[in-house]
Amino acid sequence: MLATVLYEDGDHRWIMFGRDPNKPKGIIDTNQYLIQSGDEAILLDPGGIELFAPMLSAVLKYVPAEKITKMFASHQDPDIISSLGLWDQALPNAELYSPWLWEGFIRHFGMENTTYKAIPDEGMTIQLGRIQLQFIPAHYLHSSGNFHVWDAKAGILMSGDVGAALEDTDAPLWVDNMDRHAPKMKKFHQRWMPSNEAKTDWVRRVSQLNIQVMAPQHGRLFKPPHVQEFLNWFDQLPVGTAIR
């Protein structure tokens, strides 16, 4: 599995895992993220059960297991968190931050040791080592209970399915041309995002952040000026429309 350091400042790091050339056929490619600060680390959207072994193996190249004190699942989908039952054995003392709405559902993936930390609808801020992370509401984008992660110090927004494109595992890591990339995202956003109201509200809130990297859960990542270009594009895109 490919691991890419997105940001590094002392012991504060963002690492992206994905583009696994050995992943089983038929499952979509996903981006997993690890944020480290001080003696703590958090896994963001740790992925599906099929990716657990290569993912843990890749993670242990960067950080010892006892430092991974937290996990985050933006929503309940299997590509996000169906590996939970295995992480539960690997990191028995970890906490899982996830929408309160999905607790009873996510527990179906198997949770004997992990502590579920329910994120309220309005979001919350947590301390990770020496930094603070904000869970920003992204309800209906696409899940009815959904959050993104904002690291103000690194200027990185983990944007879940917003900004996602389903591409091959050998696709470039970064968006280099919005005009060429937008068609790859259009159908996905129109089909998966059900609410124009939720979308507009999210664009308004996120536009106030100083985003240096926007990191979706599928496909390429965005840097300025493509972040703003994406927000403009998404703001104009009618969603919940791809019914044919």
Partner 1 sequence: MSAPVFITAASISAELHQAMMEARGLALTAKNARALAVRAGSRTVGFRAITDFIEELASAIIDQSRVINGHAERLSVQAVEAWRTDMANQKFQWIRSQRPQHIFSIEKNIRACDDRVTALQHDLQQGLRNLIDQLEESRKHIRTANLIATSSHVEAATAGDFREQLEVIADNIRDTADRIGNHLNRANALLNQNHRERKAAC
Instruction: Report how far residue 149's alpha carbon sits from residue 3's, in angstroms, rounded to the nearest whole number.
Output: 19
Task: Using the minimum distance from each CB to partner 1, give the nearer residue, 62 or 192.
Answer: 62
Phi-psi region of 174 (alpha: psi -120 to 50; beta: other; left: phi over 0): beta
Return the residues of window 98-127 that contact partner 1 according to CB under 8 A.
110
Contact residues for 139 (Cβ-Cβ < 8 A; gap 6+): 121, 145, 146, 198
Q: Which secondary structure element, helix H or strand E, spans residue 130, and what is its range?
A: none
Compute CA 94 distance to the chain's CA centroid, rounded to the nearest angstrom. 18
Q: Which stretch binds partner 1 (CB under 8 A): 55-63, 97-105, 125-133, 227-235?
A: 55-63
Q: Is 65 in the site for partner 1 (CB under 8 A)?
A: yes
Cβ at position 50, least distance to partner 1 in Å? 11
How far is Cα 192 from Cα 164, in angstroms, rounded to an integer?
10
Binding partner 1 by CB under 8 A: which of 27, 38, 62, 144? 62
Of 116, 110, 134, the C-alpha closest to 124 is: 134
For residue 120, CA distances in Å to 94, 111, 144, 146 come to 19, 20, 13, 10
Beta-bridge mates of residue 12: 9
* Binding span for partner 1 by CB under 8 A among 27-35, 53-61, 119-127, 168-176: 53-61
Choices 21-29, 61-69, 154-162, 185-193; region in contact with partner 1 by CB under 8 A: 61-69
Q: Minimum distance from CB of 126 to partner 1 (Å)?
A: 22
Q: Does position 61 bind partner 1 by CB under 8 A? A: yes
Q: How far is CA 79 from CA 48, 84, 177, in A?
A: 4, 11, 27
Report how many residues bind partner 1 under the rule CB under 8 A: 21
Nearest C-alpha neighbor of 182 from the set 233, 220, 121, 136 = 233
The site map against partner 1 for 154-173 (x = CB under 8 A) is --------------------
The single residue among 86, 111, 152, 171 that binds partner 1, judged by CB under 8 A, is 86
> Could you tell me where the beta strands, DSSP code E, fall in the chain?
2-9, 12-18, 32-37, 40-44, 68-72, 95-99, 115-119, 124-128, 131-137, 147-151, 156-160, 213-216
Give the binding range for partner 1 (CB under 8 A) out of 48-56, 95-103, 200-208, 230-238. 48-56
Check binding of 85 to partner 1 (CB under 8 A).
Answer: yes
Give the one residue of 4, 27, 38, 63 binding partner 1; rule: CB under 8 A.
Answer: 63
Comparing CB distances to partner 1, the nearer of 33 and 52 is 52
Query: Using the rule CB under 8 A, is 64 a contact of partner 1?
Result: yes
- Asked if 91 interacts with partner 1 (CB under 8 A), we say yes
How many angstroms separate the first and last alpha carbons of the chain?
35
Query: Which of 4, 27, 38, 67 touches partner 1 by CB under 8 A?
Result: 67
Binding site for partner 1 (CB under 8 A): 52-53, 56-67, 85-86, 89-92, 110
